[in-house]
Structure 1
């Protein structure tokens, strides 16, 4: 039998696909987060935006989009929903009116306290040690960065 064909056939098996491993892990992770985030009134994309803002309040919409790898067409409705929930405000930058700054409201800052339990729940569900989860995160980020260039 032709070894090149065997390799080719194996390379096309679903369970040998890195893309599928990442995709299915992402689905499982999102499923895990869903009930945790429902408890604090956020969707997964909203949670990611709030993580950025809890890290650094007052970022521009474009900075937030860069951090989350989202375009403004996706980000704008998300931010409108966060604003309607009184978690953020969107303000024109007085120094450059083309820029829109996103700032946490008091309720948005307070929500951080309710979210602090989520990472521990995820770590427990993953059955990973902290060091293992950090190493895996670093590997996936490195892969993302290599694929993004």
Structure 2
């Protein structure tokens, strides 16, 4: 098992469930000049870039103590993020209808997973201090969810 940690250059990604209408741009380049890629992960459209911790846990779910259940693993990932936020005095919660971790109805962490032969790929993006204008609804509909914003640890604290 391996955990990869990244801070990406600015990029928009569209997961398997993404509706291209949730990106107000061509399928190649957003209006702000940021490249757009379709990727093989769960979820919709999101932004990755500076100020964001992107974590890819590459885990074999066939081994103990894991389960061959990607939804179970997703909930465990959310719980790890919730506990991490608690260490900073932030009350993050999960929403049974929408994946990720939320603070005051705003998403602080997006989760988009995939697996092949029960080996997980992709992961989560925790907003530490990104430029939140990249999530502006004039550019994207973050995670395909209308009416709920995006936040960061820096904005909360």
Q: What's the TM-score once normalised by structure 2's chain length?
A: 0.25
Higher relative contact order (CA 8 A, sep 6+): 2
| Greater Rg over alpha carbons, structure | 1
Q: Which structure is higher in strand share?
A: 2
Q: What's the TM-score once normalised by structure 1's chain length?
A: 0.26
Q: Which structure is higher in helix share?
A: 1
